[in-house]
Amino acid sequence: MSRAEPETTPQDDAARAGWLYYVGGMTQDQIATELGISRQRAQRLVTRAMAEGLIHVRLNHRLQSCLDLESELRNRFGLIRCRVMPSLGQGGDPVATVASAAAAELERFLRQSEPLVIALGTGRAMRGMVDALTPMAAMQHRIVSLIGNISPDGSASFFDVVMRIADKVRAPHYPMPVPVISPTPEENAAFHALPPVRRVVDLARNADVVFVGVGQMSEDAPLLTDGFFTRSELEEMWAAGAAGEVAGWVYDSSGSYLDVGTNRRTGGVPVAPGLARPAVGVAAGATKVNAIRAALKSRIINILITDETTATAVLSQS
């Protein structure tokens, strides 16, 4: 009696197929082409990856190439920790690549029994991290926003994550009840003079842990795309050497915050560079390389979560 053909290939192949399907967004036909197998085999691999828990939008296998990049980044920039994820290839969404690793890093802190104040920025990377977060009870911690949550039209900022994470971890949470960027410095100062705002600002300023995205200051700057500043304001900050932004605060190629443009009207709290407390930057993508490198140089962030393509570019330009 002949032995039946094995139903699946080894776990490595299943994990890779599942990663391409659930994170990379590839169809089964595309996976079959990528791996050089039949469509039916690709379908079985994807099914096994989920059934055996190999993919929970997380990669449970460390690739040596990524480990080598992590080591080099830690040594080059004196990082506390670094996590480099496999890239998804041309056209893949970098946020999907790093979101699961960022969620795992946040869960490390949320599982600690000692109460912590955890401060969060906003943006796509932060929202992706919270969406990938495993629900848990973490009522011993406090979650606070670093940046205002009011858009120019008065609506809640779309990428604000404090409310979303509070639902998942059932922790006390403190939104920053000010505009992301006020119309004038005087209005910004008036908001910050209010006692409830001062209390949230103090909480954020003294946070035990910080998680932020890293925004580029190129033509596709998130603050420009989302309508928080104008093209002329962007050009003013370019003239002053703008290289990136974290939590709405713009800095130059050395990682020093600018004293021009919207920085004079930004609500919330800048991430102080050079402090010993963990400051986790979650960012990937070709347009973010300069911004990430500058934030690393000044130690605005001292933990980096990125992908292998971005990590390679940061190291090659340092």
Helix/strand/coil for 18 = helix
233 Cβ partners below 8 Å, 6+ apart? 261, 262
pLDDT higher than 50, residue 247: yes
* pLDDT of 60: 59
Q: What average pLDDT does the segment 87-92 reach?
A: 81
Q: How far apart are CA 165 and CA 72, in angstroms?
A: 32
**DSSP 8-state symbol, 244:** E
Structure tokens that stand for 275 in this block: 């402090």
Q: How far apart are CA 217 and CA 48, in angstroms?
A: 42
Q: What is the helix (H) or strand (E) element at residue 85, kind and residue range?
A: strand 81-85
9 has a pLDDT exceeding 60 = no
The closest alpha carbon to 214, from 94, 113, 104, belongs to: 94
Q: What is the pLDDT of residues 167-226, one digit of tens each?
A: 899 999 999 999 999 999 999 999 999 999 999 999 999 999 999 999 999 999 998 988
Comparison of pLDDT for 232 and 18, the residue scoring more: 232
Asked whether the predicted pLDDT for residue 115 surpasses 60, the reply is yes
- Rounded to an integer, the average pLDDT of 107-133 is 95
Domains (range + CATH), the chain: 1-61 (1.10.10.10), 64-317 (3.40.50.1360)
CA distance 11 to 110: 30
- Per residue in 36-88, pLDDT tens? 899 999 998 988 887 776 765 555 566 788 999 999 999 999 999 999 999 88
Percent of the chain at pLDDT > 90 equals 68
Cβ atoms of 291 and 244 closer than 8 Å: yes
Sheet holding 215-216, edge to edge: 215-216, 242-246, 249-252
3-state SS, 182-238, equals: CCCHHHHHHHHCCHHHHHHHHHHHCCCEEEEECEECCCCCHHHHCCCCCHHHHHHHH
Encoded tokens for 264: 């004079």
Cα 180 from Cα 195, distance rounded (Å): 18
**Which residues have a Cβ under 8 Å from the Cβ of 40 and sit 6 or more positions away?**
none
Can you read off the two tokens belonging to residue 148? 């205002």
Average pLDDT in the 88-107 region? Answer: 89
Task: Please report, for residues 37, 58, 245, 247, the alpha-carbon distance to residue 76 in angstroms, rounded to integers and kept in the order given.
Answer: 40, 27, 21, 24
Tell me the whole-structure pTM to 2 decimals: 0.81
CA atoms within 13 Å, Cβ hemisphere of 204: 30
